[in-house]
Structure 1
Amino acid sequence: RIAEILAEKSGSDVQLHYVGDPDFIYDETLPRLNSSPAWYSYLKIGEGCSNCCSYCIIPQLRGAYRSRPLEALVAEAEMLAGRGVKEINVISQDITRYGSDMSDGTTLEKLVRRLAAIDGIKWIRLLYAYPDGITDSLIELIRDEPKVCKYLDIPIQHISDPVLKAMKRRSSEQQIRDLIAKLRSEIPGIALRTSLIVGFPGETLEDFTKLTHFVEQTQFDRLGVFCYSKEEGTPAAEMAEQITERVKRERYRKLMRSQARLSFRHNRTLIGTTEQVIVEGYSEETELLLKGRSSRQAPDIDGQVYITSGTADIGDIVTLKITDSSDYDLIGEMVE
């Protein structure tokens, strides 16, 4: 139909659309080339997004959330385990939506239990769980299943109710605070990561000050901050009171400086404790040091652990005693 479409478009400035709503969902029969190191992999459990936040174009580009079949995911994870993968990082735009579009009772909890039963898989990490979708049963699963890392990535984006409402987020300030308190009460020692957006249209100094105080009070283990960026075709791009790039950068730097201080302070409390660490190779600075990650550190986005003594193969999970720390990294030695 290319010639027909070109003829129809010729001489017209009207935008025409010829693509239907995205509905493709891949399965385990498609070839899978793992671009991650051999010992860990990402398992994408769904495609698209149904949250429709005012700043995000993904629902328009990728369609509504579509869960992959549970058996297909288990088969893929078994294949990865057969290749030597020990750590599965469960991802999608919102993992708590998994199964919500199905009528067979599929849930995220059922999937994770099936993944935990696979021989060879040692760690299961849950990434990108929207706060309003975190249920009591999911909290209990993270607490009670030994293979599930005591780690949760919860993108809250902001804490000021006016900003959350403008973003079309479904959680309020109080709901977010209550959830964090419950997670820390029910799962002692859990590592919490979040992501925040600064400079959203209409974000006042009062809103940003509240966000800064919240970060200092809550003391997330990991924190990512992003400057708001206009996406053409989204409601937020048309909002009044767009924030200047200078103000966005200033707010970004202030939050990241605060988080660096908090992270340093928290890491100092870990000195003398023991951590399970997956060995990932030699340090970039010297081959005299091995490096790895603890179960409290996700690949690519969190810090590392530098190993000063002991020997191990890449991909081994070893016990380390933490002896020192920096802003985001830990230093330790192997123990028997």
Structure 2
Amino acid sequence: MILVAFSPSVAWLATQRLDAVSASGQLDAPQLPPPSALTLDVTRDYVKFAARYERVLNDSKVSSRRRVRLLEAHFDVYRHAHDLFGAAQASATMRLLEVETRNQTPALGRRSAFSSPEAALADASRWLAFAHFTLHEAPRSDSERLARAMTAHSPVPMAPDVVFENARWIQRAANATRFPAAVLAAIVDTEQGGDTVAYGLSGTLRKAADTIALRTSQIYGSSGVSGEVSQTVGLTQMSWQDALGQEARLSALGVTLGVPFPQNEADARSLLMRPYANLVLSASRLIGYMNYVAGIGPNSAVPHEDAWLYFLAPGWHNNPALASSGQTWPYAWNAFFKACLYQRLLDTRRMTALGLL
């Protein structure tokens, strides 16, 4: 039960086993339409990505015939990503595929999300098909209908309902910290995606553990053993220890939380239960990591806007050790595509149409 509560992947597997839905009863997976007609600009921009990807394939000793097929699929992913997300996110998608494919080399001893270049390209295509479905085919009259459609067709467990319910807080926290709302949304989605699986056991157990740890810390000054089970709290599942370390950076960013900054575990846990505070503190932590990656001061307020942040920031949020060593794994891979999608879903026009503003 503990594994179900605190691991989205375990919870997802449990649900799959419990439901055992027959293949005939499953919803059809979204399909990608043909990409837009080729333009000279798109072709010219792709050349550099093809050259880098081909070098990785050569280093991996991929045969000539297989390499041709992979490059064809690679180009197809680029064209669809460019159509759906634009040039910046398409470029980041190419970089992610390059890094993922390199990490699959056994001699490097690195984590990778997939076991082969074909599997990585196929999954990228699945995400792009889902993004196309969400942006162009799913009901867009209100957020509840869209969330249900997304949940029914998503490649992995998702929690768009939680993201939409907290969309205003996400935007407000993003504006305050000058950190991309799409990244915060992707992290919220990924952390909360396991709450609705395993017939709701995951979310119920995790919330119960959080409440017990909070009450224990309020009464005794420390959560003790209960805190070992509930190390992270709230929408983004941020640790209370990390929350206590954000005061100087928030001051540098000129951000206040509306209450005195927490000085102990009980206050930090209580504050992290509040959506806005949780999101602001999480953004602050990630800004610190991104400042480190950029080689600038830990409390620098320079905004981070590169599209690679869509992979890097969720990765650092989940596992700084893997992120800092250039590795790839499912959490960060999936969060990247979610962030690309949420950038489109959380723009002002769409939020207004969905009744979120």
TM-score range, shorter chain: under 0.3
Structure 2-normalised TM-score? 0.25
Structure number, greater radius of gyration = 1
Normalised by the size of structure 1, how large is the TM-score?
0.26
Report which of the two has the higher share of strand.
1
